Amino acid sequence: MTLADRLGGLAFGGDYNPEQWDEAVWREDDELMRRAGVNLATVGVFSWALLEPAEGEYDFAWLDDQLDRLHANGVAVDLATPTASPPPWFTLAHPDALPVTADGTRLVHGSRDTYCLVAPAYRDAARRIATALAERYGNHPAVALWHVHNEYLTLCWCDQVAAAFRNWLRRRYDGLDALNEAWGTAFWSQHYTAWDQVLPPRATQWHKNPGQALDFRRFWSDEALAAYREQRDAIRGHSDRLVTTNLMVPAYQNLDLWAFGREVDVVAIDHYPSGPGIDAAADTAFGGDRARSFGGGRPWLLMEQGTNTVYTADRILAKEPGEILRHSLGHLAHGADGTLFFQWRQSRAGAEQWHSAMVPHAGPDSRIHREVVALGSALGRLGELAGSTVRAHAAVLHDSDAWWSMDGDGLPSADLDYRSALARAHRALWNAGVTTDFAHPEHDLSRYRLVLAPALFLLSDAGAANLRRFVAGGGTLLVQYANGVVDDRLHARLGGYPAAPLREALGIRVEEHRPLARDERLVLSDGTHGDCWSESVRLHGAEAVAAYTTGMLAGSPALTRHGRGWYLSTRLDDAGYAALIARLLAAASVEPDLPGLPPGVEAVTRHAEDGRRWHIVLNHTAEPARLPASAHDLLTAGAIHEVRPGGCAVLRSP
């Protein structure tokens, strides 16, 4: 049974932390949730200290009351295991389960996420509390979903991690010789002669060994997945409800989200946009398209977003009026079957007291709460969309190994940035109105007409062969600079870049990288500009579409084409990149979901299995947006021919 089936529609609600409040407030919560149409509350994320006040002693009475109360009020529960925030008694009882930073500092409680994910004492405690919760609430009528942990994010470099890392390496490599070979330890006298010499990549004097650093990321992701599976399986022993964990799609990446996508019953992400205005809208699509893709196209759940201000170390972002609805429908457009917030009621005290919520400090008589209520009522009118999916003919390739390969020390340029290249490729398609999937380089790509491959600095042999197959099968492929440079052990490709099968598919050979200085801009023969990076490209069958005009590379190809295989050897300026993407879309016959809309107006189509279709139209501009034809809008329950500035529409397709 899907979540939407269990809820009878789209999910709407948020993190609910009633332990911060008293009975009078709970009564008000009941009424406000009913009025807003809340049907799902995430409970217990940070409740470990209350649920298990001393090791092995549980107190469930308060949670019994909360679940019963929510259930009586028609609100289903997404029940969390509280393992992201162990209580102080845990620290004192298990000091060896506290995290150690790369420079050797052991952290203590007083915040959250203070545990070493690998420490047996932590894993046992996490499994025990998850099991106890599942035994007690596995069949509770309120429980619709299990929320394991909260954002598997933290890393640790302690001795227990070192031991686990070695075990992981022993399984991966057929002996220490193979590890030495893979990590290239012949250089800098790093040769290992015994396993216990091998450490996690702790603080070092200078560049870390790249192979060691990459393997540590892989190891950590596997550990996090194992920790998730342990709790999931403990829960499944007592409950038939769906199990998930809230993934992050932030600016860094500690997890292989493809692997998590295979293990969760429904993909759930938290999303806090990386910028304001149109950038927030583009970032919403970027997050949503990844969430959908990690789940193989299934409907997913937006587990957390903010109603307004989000404070982080380096930015303060607030939502403008109308954005609560527009961002939420943005997630829906990209395939979510519901949208939740962090959190229901803004905390009066504690570490996140200034983080926005569905009921702000000012109370229900506030702009924010009114917009929340309006969203609840809009979602109530969109129930027929539940279970429908999004179809894309274009894909951007995304791989955590490639990401991690570009996080290391000693790269050919400090300005190569995986995430921004990935986001830029997606943004160019989004600007063109095209719906985009993400795919792993080794996935079957045959359903796509256009594939963009930005920033696959690391590309496996299998990935390179897969891309050659895609082009041979008639697909249009754009491979971008610094691609296929190393194999999956981070060993440089010899004889020229990229990997041989890809060189063949593209009809080129890259002989030399020429990273550019920060203020350097090269002019290409078609009038566009390149910055950041350039390459000396030799033609082996391809034709030059544009050439460099200055410097050592003057006259040599910058952009090439070999049948349907395109290669771009520099980072193009925005206009040049947009023009190239437009050309490729035309060549591959990929069209916007709803052609004819002005720039800044987004439209994505959701398809039901029985052939019904809905266009979700989001006007991110300050001008009214005319629709190509008048249509029935589910939000206003009438025919419309334009969408007001900043407004949204959900058009039922005839």
Q: Does 510 bind ligand GAL (CB under 6 A)?
A: no
User: Which of residues 111 and 205 has its CB atom nearest to ligand GAL in the complex?
Assistant: 111
What is the radius of gyration, based on Cα positions, of the chain? 26
Q: Where are the beta strands (DSSP E) in 116-218?
A: 143-147
What is the DSSP code string of 535-595?
Answer: EEEEESS-EEEEEB-SGGGTTSEEEEEETTEEEE-SEE-HHHHHHHHHHHHHHTT---SST
Task: Burial-class residue 314 by CB neighbours within 10 Å (0-12, 13-18, 19+).
Answer: exposed
User: Which of residues 355 and 424 has its CB atom nearest to ligand GAL in the complex?
Assistant: 355
Please report how close the Cβ of residue 228 comes to ligand GAL at its closest, in angstroms. Answer: 15
Positions marked active-site: 151, 304
User: Which of residues 272 and 497 has its CB atom nearest to ligand GAL in the complex?
Assistant: 272
Q: Residues 211-250 vs ligand GAL: string with x where CB under 6 A?
A: ----------------------------------------
Find the binding residues for ligand GAL in span 259-278 (CB under 6 A). 270, 272
Find the binding residues for ligand GAL in span 567-606 (CB under 6 A). none
Fill in the DSSP letter of residue 481: S
Please report how close the Cβ of residue 352 comes to ligand GAL at its closest, in angstroms. Answer: 6
Q: Tell me how long the chain is.
A: 654
What the block records as the tokens of 174 is: 């057929």
Q: Residues 333-372 vs ligand GAL: string with x where CB under 6 A?
A: ---------x---------x--x-----------------
Please report how close the Cβ of residue 355 comes to ligand GAL at its closest, in angstroms. Answer: 5
Please report how close the Cβ of residue 315 comes to ligand GAL at its closest, in angstroms. Answer: 11
Question: Alpha-carbon distance 129 to 46, whole Å?
Answer: 13
User: Which of residues 344 and 614 has its CB atom nearest to ligand GAL in the complex?
Assistant: 344
Question: What are the b/e assignments for 184-198, b being 16+ CB within 10 Å?
Answer: bbeeeeeebeeeeeb
Question: Alpha-carbon distance 303 to 249, whole Å?
Answer: 12
Question: Alpha-carbon distance 273 to 198, whole Å?
Answer: 39
User: Which of residues 149 and 503 has its CB atom nearest to ligand GAL in the complex?
Assistant: 149
Please report how close the Cβ of residue 342 comes to ligand GAL at its closest, in angstroms. Answer: 4
- The H-or-E segment that residue 223 falls in is helix 210-236
Distances (CA, A) of 244 to 150, 241, 320, 329, 590: 10, 10, 31, 22, 34
Find the binding residues for ligand GAL in span 119-178 (CB under 6 A). 150-151
* Close Cβ partners of 494 (under 8 Å, ≥ 6 residues apart): none
- Size of interface with ligand GAL, in residues (CB under 6 A): 9
Please report how close the Cβ of residue 314 comes to ligand GAL at its closest, in angstroms. Answer: 13
Question: Alpha-carbon distance 155 to 151, whole Å?
Answer: 12
Please report how close the Cβ of residue 304 comes to ligand GAL at its closest, in angstroms. Answer: 5
CA torsion sign for 484, 487, 492, 495 is negative
What the block records as the tokens of 610 is: 């029985």
- The H-or-E segment that residue 397 falls in is strand 394-397
Find the binding residues for ligand GAL in span 288-307 (CB under 6 A). 304
Question: Alpha-carbon distance 55 to 58, whole Å?
Answer: 8
Please report how close the Cβ of residue 270 comes to ligand GAL at its closest, in angstroms. Answer: 5
Please report how close the Cβ of residue 151 comes to ligand GAL at its closest, in angstroms. Answer: 5
Q: What are phi and psi of 564, to 5 degrees?
A: -100, 5
Distances (CA, A) of 92 to 55, 83, 86, 129, 636: 11, 16, 11, 18, 57
What the block records as the tokens of 71 is: 């259930």
* Lookup result for tokens 């999956």: 488
User: Which of residues 349 and 637 has its CB atom nearest to ligand GAL in the complex?
Assistant: 349
* Lookup result for tokens 């420079």: 103
CA torsion sign for 402, 586, 530, 315 is negative
Please report how close the Cβ of residue 339 comes to ligand GAL at its closest, in angstroms. Answer: 15
Among 51, 79, 156, 310, binds ligand GAL (CB under 6 A): 310
Look at residues 593, 603, 600 and name the one whose alpha carbon lies nearest to residue 391.
593
One-letter amino acid of 485: V
Question: Alpha-carbon distance 419 to 30, whole Å?
Answer: 42
By beta carbon distance, the residue nearest ligand GAL is 342
Question: Alpha-carbon distance 327 to 436, whole Å?
Answer: 18
User: Which of residues 352 and 487 has its CB atom nearest to ligand GAL in the complex?
Assistant: 352
How far is Cα of residue 456 from the mean position of the Cα atoms in its chain?
17
User: Which of residues 269 and 479 has its CB atom nearest to ligand GAL in the complex?
Assistant: 269
User: Which of residues 150 and 528 has its CB atom nearest to ligand GAL in the complex?
Assistant: 150
Please report how close the Cβ of residue 488 comes to ligand GAL at its closest, in angstroms. Answer: 31
Question: Alpha-carbon distance 240 to 245, whole Å?
Answer: 16
Starting at the earlier edge strand, list the strands of the sheet with 529-531: 521-523, 529-531, 571-572
Question: Alpha-carbon distance 619 to 638, whole Å?
Answer: 18
User: Which of residues 310 and 650 has its CB atom nearest to ligand GAL in the complex?
Assistant: 310
User: Which of residues 313 and 637 has its CB atom nearest to ligand GAL in the complex?
Assistant: 313
Positions in the binding site for ligand GAL (CB under 6 A)? 150-151, 270, 272, 304, 310, 342, 352, 355
